[in-house]
Structure 1
Amino acid sequence: MEINVHDIVKFSSVNQLYDQTTIPAWVAHSPAATSYGVVRRAPITKQLVPIGLRGNARHERHGTAIDKQYILEIITPYSLIEQLAHFKNNRFYSLLNDIRHKFDPYTIKWGATGSVGFELATGIQVTSITSDLDLLICLEVIDEVLLHEISNLLADSRITIDPQIEIPGVGAFLLKDYLMNKESGFILRTFYGPQLCKIKEGSIQLFL
């Protein structure tokens, strides 16, 4: 069972969560939190998968964990785009479809995360008219030209798009942060916390 950051996992009961004695009261009243969690960027140890629960309000967020044995389904951000035709009734469908056509010539592996991805994966409405679109873009190697091209392709969107670049086995960084701070250093999100880094000769190097 492969599980990665940003995957959405389905379970049958909050009683299966690792720290059930400290679960906030609002969880019981949130359809999203009682059945689904989003995998957090933290190590998986002793079969425990770190997940985040989301409630009905923006401030209702809770970090916990669940044993792999209780996971019923894993929904990846990438699978949502592969099955995009199933979401034609969602108001973000048109935008996501436009992005898919723009990305097709580049064979980019990408998916939807955040509130939009959660809504598509679960069928539970969690977006609002002010929701941004969070994208996860997976690159096996750093291509600085491609990073600029991706930014240009998304620049004319009618809503705010926040792309995050994931480098498997290394970490992730916000594309906007990279473009603004690539000379002075941008933040790489890793399993062990944020690190200030730069790109040199096609690879990510940490500032010492």
Structure 2
Amino acid sequence: MASLNLYSPAPHDLVWLDDPASALERDALPAWVSLPALRDTPLVVRRDGRRQGEIPVGLRGLTRAERFGTWIAPAAIRRLVTPMDLAAQRAWRVRPELAALPAIRALAAIADPLDAGGIRWGVTGSAGFTLACARNVLHAGSDLDLIVRADRPLPPGHLYLLGELQRTAPARVDIQVATPYGGFSLLERLRGGGRVLLKTDHGPRLCDDPWQPAPCRS
């Protein structure tokens, strides 16, 4: 688990609130949100730079329609887990009840090759949420969502390995690449010859090179 004193929450991180009622009291919450349940259920950090000094987060319910975005103060966080924490801890190995799900089978199959390839990666989406808490939001048709952190352009060997793992995994694998300027879909880059839609803190931008912000076009 990342130290809150040394780490600023990043998109896809999971955070737990010290006092959900106090942290979210400014918002008109949807009826499906249970404040008592949020003591044990994480929120997902998202991309949105409209409020300086606050952290954009998303609440999720039981269905895709149950999503709610808001902001919290950094002091409201009592615990933080990153996607990389879940990967490093091999969190799926202590949840045998999930082992038969295709997304978890895919995770177990590709974790060691990713590490051996020197790739900085983590588990996000429904799989990450499920592995981080007691709520299972995975089902037989769930994708496996991963994040790869890359401060510089990925070398050809990494691109080849990621592409092969996507192709051969026993579930659909959606890999997002996180650059210092935002995140993009690896599959989109491989299919499109380079140009991608970069998700930034200030909205999506079409980029020829996601590691160079100047060429980006809104």
- Kept in 2, the 8 Å contact 1:14–1:35? The answer is no
Amino acid at match of 2:164: N
Counterparts in 2 of 1:149 and 1:21: CA distance versus 1, 3 Å: closer
1:190 and 2:200 matched = yes
Q: Report the equivalent of 2:111.
A: 100
SS in 1 for 2:140: coil
The answer on 1:157 being equivalent to 2:169 is yes
1:83 pairs with one of 85, 89, 96: 89
RMSD of aligned residue pairs (Cα, Å)? 2.5
Q: In 1, distance between residues paired with 2:69 and 2:39?
A: 11
Q: Please give the alpha-carbon distance, in whole angstroms, between the structure 1 residues aligned to 2:167 and 2:66.
A: 31
Q: 5 Å matches for 1:36-51?
A: 36-43=42-49, 45-51=51-57
Q: Which amino acid aligns with 2:94?
A: F
CA distance in 1, matches of 2:133, 2:124: 12
Query: Structure 1 length normalisation: TM-score?
Result: 0.87
Distance 1:96 1:44, change over 3 A: farther
**Residue in 1 that maps onto 2:68:** 62
Aligned to 2:31: 25
1:188 positional shift: 0.7
Q: 1:21 to 1:187 in 2, by over 3 A?
A: closer
Q: SS at the partner of 2:34?
A: helix
Number of corresponding residues? 205
- Indicate the SS of the match to 2:159: helix
Which position in structure 2 is the counterpart of 1:173? 184
Find the aligned partners of 1:14 and 1:20 in 2 and give their Cα distance.
Answer: 11
- CA deviation map 1:165-201 (0-9, x unaligned): 111x211100111112235x3201111111111139x
Q: 1:93, CA displacement in angstroms?
A: 4.5
Listed as ranges, the gaps of 5+ residues in structure 1 are none
User: For 1:112-150, what per-residue CA distance to the aligned partner results, in whole angstroms no more than 9, with x for missing partners?
Assistant: 100100000112111111111000011121125122331
Q: Is residue 10–residue 74 contact of structure 1 (8 Å, CA) maintained in 2?
A: yes
Amino acid at match of 1:38: V
Instruction: Describe the superposition over 1:59-88 as per-residue Cα deviations: whole angstroms up to 9, x where unpaired.
Output: 000001111111110000000011115535
What secondary structure sits across from 1:43 in the alignment?
A: coil
TM superposition shift of 1:106? 1.6
Shift of 1:98: 1.8
Higher relative contact order (CA 8 A, sep 6+): 2
Aligned partners of 2:58 and 2:67 also within 8 Å = yes
Deviates more, 1:117-126 or 1:36-45: 36-45
Greater strand proportion: 1
Quickly say closer, same or farther: Cα 1:62–1:53, change in 2 above 3 A.
same
Q: Percent identity?
A: 30
